[in-house]
Amino acid sequence: MIPGKTIISEEVFSELAKTAMAKIESISPRTGQKISLVALARIVADKVSPQINVRKNDAIENENEESAIPAAVSFDLKVNVLYGQNIPSVVSRLRETVKNEVESITGYKVEKVDVTVEKLVKAEPEHSEEE
């Protein structure tokens, strides 16, 4: 093995959290307006960086492996949930999805995923342009 240090930026973790959020259909980024299901899907795929805070600790290697500190990361996510969904279930799926996404791609241990549900979003049917 070739020695060297690998550092993964907070932006990478933010992108991974966005990807995980997009996989949960009942999650919406923060918004003050009612939106259609199609618009909701588009918004979820867009940038939601202001709603994701990442705290990471890079691994600290020591000669004594027992005192080495593994790489770890924690998240604070702010989301809206689609009205009618069971919030604890949605949040649990989100946490698990973020954990799996981050740990499988980066090797960092996810210590915690704090989720603030700011609003419930009601989906409205798409209106034609004539309306």
Query: What is the per-residue pLDDT across 60-80, written as a single tens digit (0 to 9) for each?
Result: 776 665 556 789 999 999 998
Task: Output the pLDDT for position 12.
Answer: 95
Task: Output the pLDDT for position 42.
Answer: 56
Q: Enumerate domains of the chain plus CATH numbers.
A: 10-59+69-121 (3.30.70)
Mean pLDDT for the stretch of residues 35-59:
65
pTM for this prediction = 0.74
Q: Which residues contact 93 (CB under 8 A, 6 or more apart)?
A: 24
Burial 19-37 (b: 16+ CB within 10 A, else e): ebbbebebbbbeeeeebee
